[in-house]
Chains A and B, each alone.
Chain A
C-alpha cells in the first residue's frame, strides 16, 4: 500500500513576534521544525507500513528550498520517497491554493496513494483547512481528528476520530484522507541508518509545471482570502496579586473575595 504524508515546515511558533516598527513578523533567528502534528501523521504512516508488508511511505512538502531539511528529517525516520514542491509561483497561497497545489503533487506521484495523512493543523497558520481541502480537490473522503488507524480488510480502514465530548469508531473505504492528533502516538526518533541516508540525499525541487498545476489556481492571485493586517493581540493586564499570605489566609480571603464580587 502507499501511504502519503503531507509535511509542513514551520517556525518554532512561541518565539514569533511582530516588529512594532515595521508591523511585520519577526522570523529572524527562529529555528524551523517539522510541524509537530505532522510528526504524528508520519508516525502513523510508518506504523501502517510496518503492519502492511510491501507498503511504501512518501512525504510531500510544499515550501522554500530549506524545507528540504524537514523532508530529510522524514527520511531519517524511515520515509521511502519525498517530493518537495518549491516554486515562486505557489508563494502566497492561502489554504484554497495550497490544497490545490498539494493535491496536484499527490496526483503526480508515480504510484497512486491509498491513504493521505495530514497533521491536525499547522502550528503557524493554525487553520486545519489544508487536509480536508486536499481531500476535496481529489474527491476523497476525509476523516479529521483521528487518533488511531488500522487497515481492517483490503480496501478499508478502521479509524478512531475524536469529538469534543468523546470519540467514534469509523470505517472508511480507501483511498481516503485523515488528519492526525497528537495523542495518536509518540513519534520515533531517527535511526542512525536513516540519518546517514538523509545526509547523503539530494532532494530535487519540483516545479508547479512538473505537477501540471494550472497557473490560474496557484499562488497569491488564486487565493480568495487576503490577509489585510496583522497585529499583536491585546494584552490582558493582571489585577491584584497577593503575596506573603499563609495558605490559610489566602484561602479565606479568596472565598470572601469571590462572594463579595458576587462570582459565587
Chain B
C-alpha cells in the first residue's frame, strides 16, 4: 500500500496533519502536506482532506506492513457472567511456552463489564500483562462490540500472535476480527509451535478429523488461532504472582443485537467438558429410559458427567448439550466409558484424548476398540449393572 498526496490539489490547510493519529504528516517548506515513515496507512487523512488530494493506493497481494513492529503473544481471556472459561488457563499454559520461544511477554485480553477482579487469576496463571476493556456494551456477549474492542486493542498495541479458545464465543467473533484486521485465522487448533523462522505453526484437524493440516500465516499480523479446549494442559497457579494491568477506555457503541433471555440447560448437571469422568451412551442403549442406567453408574463412580453419541441425540434420548464429537463437545476426562457406541471417527475426535478409555460393546469389530485402553466385548445391560454392584461393594 502507498499513500499518495496530489501536490497540485493540496491547499496546505493542515487538516491531515491534525487528523493523523501517528504524527506521520507535516507541512513542508512549500506549505504542502508530506508523509513520513511513521505512516500506517490507516486512511484517517484521506477522510480528513477537504479537497480529496490524498489517496491510499492498494497494491496486489500485499501482506501486513511493517511486520516486525508486531510483538508479543496475546491470549483472549474469555469470561461469561464474570467467570473465566477453563480454556483460558490452557491457553496461558501453552502461551507461556510459545512466548518463551518467541522471546516475548505473554499478555491476556479481558473484555467485559465489571470484570477487573479476574485479572489476578490471569496474573497467577502466567499473564505478564492484562489488557482490560471494561465497558457496558460488553456486559452480555455479542459479537459486534467484542470484535470492536479486540480490533481497537490490536490496532493500538500490535501483537504478533493471538490465541483464543475455539468456544462458542471464540468461533463467533474472532473470525470477524481476522477479517477486519486482514489477517489469517486458523480454526480449532490442536497443535501450536514456533518454527525455525519464528512463525507460529498451527496444526488443526479438518475433514472431520480424518486429516491434519499444518498452517502458517507468514505475511500478515497478528497470526491468529482459535484453539480447541481440553487439548493443552492448564497453566499451574502461582498465588500472589503479579503483572501489569492496562485499562483501555473505548466508549463502545451499545450492541445492536439484543439478548432477551438466557437459559442454562445444564443447571443441575455436570458439563461433559468439565468432568473428570464421562459415562457416554450410544445407539446401543436402545431407548431414552436406559440413560438412567448410565446415571446410576455415574453415581456409583462418585459423580460423572453423561455424554452421548450423535445417534443417541438424534433419537432424542438426550439433549444435544451432552453430545461428544465433531459436532458436539470435545472432552478430555481422566476416564471415558463408552457404552453401546460404535466409535465412528466423528465421535472419536471428541474423546480420543481422554486419559483412559473404556469401551463396552457387543460387536468385537467395533472401531471404538481401536482407541480403548480397556475394551469389553459384551452386552452393556449385563456388564454395566455388574460394574455398578462391584463399585458399590468395593
Contacts and interface: CB of A to CB of B under 8 A. Distances in A.
| Size class of the B contact interface (CB-based, 8 Å) | 35 or more
Interface stretch (A74-82, A188-196, A230-238): A230-238
Contacts of B358: 254, 258
22 contacts: A13-B210, A14-B344, A16-B210, A95-B178, A126-B326, A127-B187, A142-B143, A143-B257, A166-B265, A166-B266, A173-B256, A224-B178, A230-B212, A232-B210, A232-B212, A241-B364, A249-B386, A250-B386, A251-B387, A263-B334, A263-B355, A264-B277
Contact of A133 (B179, B352, B390): B179
Contacts of B205: 126, 233
A3 to B, nearest CB: 19
6 smallest beta-carbon distances between A and B, as pairs:
A247-B382, A251-B386, A224-B184, A255-B390, A127-B187, A225-B184
Contacts of A132: 143, 172-173, 175-176, 179
A172 interface: yes
A228 B216 CA distance: 7
Nearest to A235: B370
Contacts of B327: 120, 182
B68 interface: no
Given A171-B257, A236-B370, A240-B375, A16 B207 contact: yes
| Size class of the A contact interface (CB-based, 8 Å) | 35 or more
A66 interface: no
B4 interface: no
Contacts of A168: 259-263
Looking at chain A's contact residues, is the secondary structure mostly helix, strand, loop, or mixed?
A: mixed
Interface stretch (A57-65, A108-116, A201-209, A215-223): A215-223
Nearest to B172: A144
Interface in B256-281: 256-266, 271, 273, 277
Interface of B: 58-63, 142-144, 147, 167-168, 171-173, 175-176, 178-180, 182-188, 201, 205-220, 256-266, 271, 273, 277, 301-302, 320-321, 326-327, 329, 334-335, 344-346, 352, 355-356, 358, 360, 364, 369-379, 381-391, 394
Contact of A241 (B302, B334, B377): B377
B387 to A, nearest CB: 4
B370 A237 contact: yes
Contacts of B378: 242, 245-247, 250
B391 to A, nearest CB: 5
A259 interface: yes
A123 interface: yes
Contact of B167 (A123, A164, A244): A164
A142 B356 contact: no
A242 B374 contact: yes
Contacts of B217: 224-226
Nearest to B348: A236
A164 B168 contact: yes
B112 to A, nearest CB: 16
B185 A172 contact: no
A88 interface: no
Interface string A102-130: 00000000000000000010011111110
B147 A136 contact: yes
A151 B273 CA distance: 34
A176 B264 CA distance: 25
A168 B263 CA distance: 6
B213 A254 contact: no
A187 interface: no
Interface in A29-68: none
A225 B263 contact: no
Contacts of B383: 247, 250-251, 254
Given A141-B143, A224-B184, A238 B372 contact: yes
Interface of A: 13-14, 16-18, 25, 94-96, 99-100, 120, 123-129, 131-133, 135-137, 141-145, 158, 162-173, 176, 182-183, 214-216, 221-233, 235-252, 254-259, 261, 263-264
Given A14-B346, A230-B211, A239-B374, A170 B206 contact: no
Contacts of A256: 390, 394
Contact of B213 (A123, A172, A229): A229
B59 A216 contact: yes
A157 to B, nearest CB: 10
A148 B376 CA distance: 41
Given A132-B143, A224-B63, A250-B383, A96 B263 contact: no
Contacts of A135: 176
Contacts of B61: 216, 221-222
A213 to B, nearest CB: 13
Contact of A239 (B175, B182, B375, B390): B375
A241 B256 CA distance: 56
Contacts of A255: 387, 390-391, 394
A30 to B, nearest CB: 10
Contact of A264 (B183, B211, B301, B386): B301
B168 A145 contact: yes
